[in-house]
Structure 1
């Protein structure tokens, strides 16, 4: 059982939240970034299971292909179309949006792609900072800028942007300055979209505790070596030390939050943050 805490799990159909929403159709497109693995893959699968066309993008082409293969294995009601692209390159971002627009009406944008680098501020490479910033904050802004006209020009002029924030968008831990800044910034982007959306285009963010994704689990061996702990001690004493939860979240649990938030059931969620952090930032 202990190993389940640090092994990214496969999405199963029974794990996916299904909602009744007349806008969840093949004609409407959800553009999902970071779709090659982890939360991005789970979200792409969950939205396709709810009948949407998903434009799945990532720089990892092999991972994207695996996401599409998994969708076929699960026999989902919607579809996933892979569009590879590098979110640090503006031309790629433009191509991704243009290609997504050929699949139907871009109605939903879900910014999930993320990266991590562990280093104290005085040793933090500015080149690395710029790279992480472009992926986690600048790209979501540019994607939003490009997708908003498609949402406004749709039949009902409605749309929604979902942003993957983090407990680190509410409080920070040491040695993650680029990640911390980006996640705080995403909450500002979310609220800015809500302020300009006239109630027809919504935006929300999702802030979670640690999730069993490759981005997280790949950090465990290095953290264990750095702190002289076992991998399981890293999970219990570092990652979950301030949470009331006893294990990390599964990616599909986060995906289900996006399904809910994008749907008509989230119609009053606008500019807000779904804080699903196991009490990490709210209890002592």
Structure 2
């Protein structure tokens, strides 16, 4: 197939995509905050948690996207509820407000820090305003979210809860032209471990690291990488992105969402400070 014929789009969510777990804390009295809930992995995670019976408060700057996420959860007849709150994650006041909005809905127990962005450029040419924005959204905002949410989790009757951070294979190794993203993802490893260190065992911190996921962000990244390296989109997907992998397909947003569902469940109570690495063999194999 010619590169011009290669169409890239994120897959539509379906009701059968999601892992369902019977868990004592998965009910509408308990609340999960999900950032980046208007699209991609954040949307899938919000819907997946609502499908497991939780009340979900979705934070995103895209209000219309949040409405669409709510419509999907309703269409799937989720046993939980979704409530979107338009939030600028670079604004500390907005972050505090969305956690308070979550507390108004029930007991805050879970946070999924998923919101992210990407910019493709070498370090010498990397715009510092883009660097600052990436770090604000993907590292500073998760820290602030943890700062606001941890007291609420600790104040529940048993102190049980978890904060899950969307990391990446780029939190384990580096490739060129993604320095800000890589810096943020490596920093999330430290934040995750710090949450675990301060969580007294019942409030856990964990991260999720995956390879390439077919999201709207990834579609844009493929196009940007093709332009940056002078390659076709097909060459970017098959040679750059999947070339080192042993599993030769991208993950779907729902597959990543299921890792957060598991990570928040009581089945993962020993996952504390650790990372769920589902990367198709990128990190620990080579030719």
TM-score bin (small chain): over 0.9
Report the Cα offset of residue 169 of structure 1: 0.1
Equivalent of 2:260, from 258, 261, 265? 258
Q: Name which of structure 1's ranges 223-232 and 155-164 shifts more when overlaid on structure 2.
A: 223-232
1:26-41 equivalent positions in 2, closer than 5 A: 26-41=28-43
The residue that corresponds to 2:143 in the other structure is: 141
Equivalent in 150, 155, 158 of residue 156 of structure 1? 158
State the distance in 1 between where 2:6 and 2:140 align.
34
Change (3 A) 1:5 1:18: farther
- Distance (Å, rounded) in 1 between the aligned partners of 2:102 and 2:201: 24
**Please, which runs of 5 or more residues in structure 1 have no aligned partner?**
none
Residue equivalent to 2:242: 240
Q: Secondary structure at the match of 1:134?
A: helix
List aligned pairs for 1:3-152, cutoff 5 A.
6-152=8-154
SS of match in other structure, 1:54: strand
Give the TM-score normalised by the residue count of structure 2.
Answer: 0.96
Number of equivalenced pairs: 284
Q: How big is each residue's C-alpha offset from its partner over 1:214-245, in whole Å with a ceiling of 9 and x where there is no partner?
A: 11111222322333333222111111111111
- Structure 2 residues not aligned, in runs of 5+: none
The structure-2 alpha-carbon separation of the partners of 1:125 and 1:225, relative to structure 1 and needing over 3 Å to count, comes to closer
TM-aligned CA deviation for residue 208 of structure 1 = 0.2
Is contact 2:59-2:87 (8 Å) kept? yes
Structure 2: how far apart are the matches of 1:226 and 1:117?
11
Structure 1 segments of 4 or more deviating over 6 A?
Answer: 1-5
Which range is displaced more, 226-235 or 135-144? 226-235
So what's the TM-score if we normalise by structure 1?
0.97
Structure 2 counterpart SS, 1:202: strand
Distance 2:100 2:221 in 1: 35
Question: How many angstroms apart in 1 are the aligned matches of 2:96 and 2:78?
Answer: 28
SS of the residue corresponding to residue 196 of structure 2 reads: helix
2:213 is equivalent to residue 211 of structure 1: yes
Q: Is the 8 A contact 1:87 1:135 kept in 2?
A: yes
Specify the SS of the correspondent of 1:102: helix
Q: Which residue of 2 aligns with 1:249?
A: 251
Pairwise CA RMSD of aligned residues? 1.5
CA deviations 1:155-177 (Å, max 9, x no partner) are: 11111000000000000111111
Alignment of 1:200 with 2:175, yes or no, is: no
Q: Is the 8 A contact 2:116 2:137 kept in 1?
A: yes
